[in-house]
A and B are shown apart, each in its own frame.
Chain A
Amino acid sequence: MKSLTKLSLPGMGVMAALMLPLAAPANADELRWGASRDMDSLDPYSYGSTFTISTLNHAYEGLVRYDDQLKIEPALATSWEDISPTVRRFHLRKGVKFHDGAPFTADDVIASLTRVSDPKSPLRGNLPAYQGAEKIDDYTVDIKVTENYPLILNDLTNIFIFDKEWLVANNATAPTDVGAGVEGYATTHANGTGPFKVVSRKPDVETVFEVNKDWWDKPRHNIDRIVFTPIASPATAVAALLSGQIDYMEKAPLQDIPRLKQTEGVQVLASNELRTVFFLFNRAEKLVADGAKNPFNDIKVREALYRAIDIDVLQKKVMRGLSRNTGSMVAPAIPGYVTDLDERLGHDPEKAKALLAEAGYPDGFSFTMVCDNNVYVNEEEICQAVSAMWARIGLKPSLDTAPTSIQTVKFESGKFDVGILGWANEPMIDSYSILVQVAHSKTGTSGVFNWGGWKDAEVDQLIDAAAKELDREKRLALQSKALLKLKSNVDFLPLHQQPMAWALGPKVKSVVQLSDNKSRHWLTVLK
Chain B
Amino acid sequence: MHIDEAGRAGRLAEWRRRLSDAWDSDLAYSFRATPMAVASALVLLIVALTAFLAPLIAVQNPYDLTQLFLDQAELPPIWNEGGASPYLLGTDVQGRDVLSAILYGSRISLLIGFASVIASMAIGIAVGLICGFAGGHVDNLLMRVGDFVLSIPTLLVAILVSAVFRELLPVNLRDAFAPVILTASIAITSWVQYARIVRASAMVEARKEYVLAARILEVRTPRILLTHILPNVMTPVLVTATLSLGLAILAEATLSFLGVGMPVTQPSLGTLIRIGNQYFFSGSWWVVLFPAFQLGLIILAVNLLGDWLRDALNPKLQ
Contacts and interface: CB of A to CB of B under 8 A. Distances in A.
Do A and B touch each other in the complex, judged by CB within 8 A?
yes
B162 to A, nearest CB: 14
A235 B172 contact: no
B263 to A, nearest CB: 9
A233 B278 contact: yes
Contacts of A310: 70
B282 A253 contact: yes
A255 B284 contact: yes
B278 A317 contact: no
Contact of A318 (B93, B264, B282): B93
A103 to B, nearest CB: 49
A238 B281 CA distance: 9
Nearest to A260: B282
A4 to B, nearest CB: 24
A234 interface: yes
B101 to A, nearest CB: 14
B25 interface: no
A366 B172 contact: yes
B284 A290 contact: no
A253 B278 contact: yes
Nearest to A392: B66
Given A290-B172, A381-B94, A388 B68 contact: yes
Nearest to A399: B265
B172 A317 contact: no
Interface string A490-510: 000000000000000000000
A224 interface: no
Which bracket fits the contact residues of B?
20 to 34
Contacts of A366: 172
A398 B172 contact: yes
B172 A388 contact: no
B65 A391 contact: yes
Contacts of A398: 171-172, 175
Nearest to B71: A313
B280 A235 contact: yes
Interface in B117-172: 171-172
Interface in A176-232: none
A234 B93 CA distance: 15
Contacts of B94: 381, 384-385, 388
Contacts of A370: 171
A235 B281 contact: yes
Contacts of B282: 235, 238, 253, 255-256, 259
Contacts of A238: 281-282
B70 A385 contact: yes
A239 B281 contact: yes
B233 to A, nearest CB: 40
A438 interface: no
Interface string B261-279: 0001100000000000111
B283 A317 contact: no
Nearest to B173: A398
Contacts of A385: 70, 94
Nearest to A390: B65
B74 interface: yes
A238 B66 CA distance: 33
Contacts of B283: 259
Contacts of A313: 70-71
B66 A235 contact: no
A400 interface: yes
A256 B280 CA distance: 10
Interface string A235-261: 100110000000000000101100100
Contacts of A399: 265
A235 B171 contact: no
A398 to B, nearest CB: 4
B267 to A, nearest CB: 11
A87 interface: no
A392 B95 CA distance: 14
Nearest to A400: B171
Contact of B171 (A317, A368, A391): A368
A66 B313 CA distance: 77
Nearest to A234: B278
B310 interface: no
Contacts of A381: 93-94
Interface in B274-318: 277-284
Interface string A259-301: 1000000000000000000000000000011100000000000
Contacts of A259: 282-283
A523 to B, nearest CB: 30
B70 A318 contact: yes
Interface in A11-46: none
A486 interface: no
B228 interface: no
Given A385-B70, A388-B94, A289 B277 contact: no
Nearest to A312: B71
A56 interface: no
Nearest to B280: A235
A173 B175 CA distance: 46
Contact of A400 (B64, B174, B280): B174
B73 interface: yes
Interface in B56-80: 64-66, 68, 70-71, 73-74
A235 B278 contact: yes
A330 interface: no
Interface string A297-326: 000000000000010011011100000000
A411 to B, nearest CB: 13
Contacts of A392: 65-66
A238 to B, nearest CB: 6
Contacts of B65: 387-388, 391-392, 397
A368 B172 contact: yes
Contacts of B64: 391
A255 B277 CA distance: 12
Contacts of A391: 64-66
Given A234-B278, A255-B279, A388 B66 contact: yes
Contacts of A255: 93, 278-279, 282, 284
A389 B94 CA distance: 11
B15 to A, nearest CB: 49
A520 B283 CA distance: 31
Contacts of B93: 255, 317-318, 381
A310 B95 CA distance: 14
The CB with the most chain B CB atoms within 10 A, among A368, A384, A415, is that of A384
14 contacts: A235-B277, A235-B279, A235-B281, A238-B281, A239-B281, A289-B171, A289-B172, A313-B70, A317-B74, A318-B70, A368-B171, A368-B172, A381-B93, A384-B264
Closest 5 CB pairs of A and B: A391-B65, A388-B65, A398-B172, A235-B281, A255-B282
